[in-house]
A and B are shown apart, each in its own frame.
Chain A
Amino acid sequence: MNTLIRTKFPLKIIQIALGLIFLGSSFYKILSPPSFAHAIYNYQLAPLWLINPAAIILPWVQFLCGFALLTRIGEKGASLLILLMMISFQIALGSALIRGLNVSCGCFEAGGSPATWLTFSRDTLILLLAAIQFTVIARRPKADEAI
């Protein structure tokens, strides 16, 4: 990990990749909150009162986190949020797969792709990148931050 901290190049790639993924995944949700709310409902995990607030706020959290990683403005807070979101998404996705639900992933577009073990593997990789990103960035000295 120390080598990673010293070697900034791979971290920059990870940071840009995560930034783009989160920006990309926020667009359809921002354009169509009802579709995203429906996707959350289908997972049958969130309390019903939480579905609409989550569908309204979460896409913007994703958008701002993606923006923060790309611009390095508020990147520490964004890294923490991205890690927490990825953990939550993986719990939801894994639980849906274990329960045998035939749901859409709700990742990048409404009904765009099904929730499958392949999706789960892809998101595990993103979670791993988010964990590396967070661990490295949380140790970064304040003087090295953009803001």
Chain B
Amino acid sequence: MFRQTALIIFLATILGAVRQFAPNGLHWIGKWPTASTSAKEAYGLMARPGDPPFLSLAEAIGAESKKNGIILDARDKNLFKEGHIPGALNLPFYEYDTEASKVLKSVDPQTLMIVYCEGINCELSFFLGRQLEKDGYKNVKIFYGGYPEWKNAGLPIEKG
């Protein structure tokens, strides 16, 4: 049994190594964001070509204060209720099919859409941003520092 186990792992390693020569491969050694990585650097490491552009905290603050565009929180409803950026609308990525038509009702495709979630360990802002672009929204940006960066900066939050 253990010989078979070892053989499967060996074969998987060979196949994995060969797979890396095909498109969309992955290097054996990767660079991943750590707690000390800035949001912008983390975005650079995690974004794929063609993803919506990065938005900094300062730009997010500016957009929020000027009420420029809409802010979309991609997290689930419970996390949104616990706290979110003032004025943000909750569009949980995993409820996109049912919620998008309600949340984005009469939103112009050119409107600035700032998407965020739970910071650099959260992929939902990418998922939501990509989906919005796919659905024809032309001005989507990802505030990758997300709710943690906003809260840690001592900025006001809303609950409920």
Which A residues have a C-beta under 8 Å from some C-beta of B? 30-34, 37-39, 41-42, 44, 48-49, 51-53, 55-61, 63-65, 68, 74-78, 80-81, 100-104, 111, 113-114, 138
Contacts and interface: CB of A to CB of B under 8 A. Distances in A.
A55 B5 contact: no
B93 A42 contact: no
Interface string B14-36: 01110110001111111010100
Nearest to A50: B30
Contacts, number: 110
B4 A60 contact: no
A105 B7 CA distance: 28
Given A33-B26, A55-B26, A57-B16, A42 B8 contact: no
Nearest to A43: B121
B3 A77 contact: yes
B118 interface: yes
Given A74-B4, A76-B4, A44 B121 contact: yes
Contacts of A30: 19
Nearest to B118: A102
B117 A102 contact: yes
A58 B15 CA distance: 11
Given A41-B121, A76-B4, A57 B13 contact: yes
B30 A77 contact: no
A58 B7 CA distance: 14
B1 interface: yes
Contacts of A104: 123-124, 127
5 contacts: A33-B24, A57-B9, A64-B11, A64-B15, A100-B79
A102 B5 contact: no
Contacts of A64: 8, 11-12, 15
> Which residue among B30, B34, B94 has the maximum number of chain A CB atoms within 10 Å of its CB?
B30
Contact of B93 (A61, A75, A78, A111): A111
Contact of A52 (B2, B4, B5, B27): B27
A61 B127 contact: no
Given A42-B122, A60-B16, 12 more contacts: A37-B30, A48-B30, A57-B13, A75-B4, A76-B4, A77-B1, A78-B8, A80-B5, A81-B9, A101-B121, A102-B124, A114-B94
Contact of B1 (A48, A58, A80): A80
B79 A102 contact: yes
A100 B121 CA distance: 12
B109 to A, nearest CB: 23
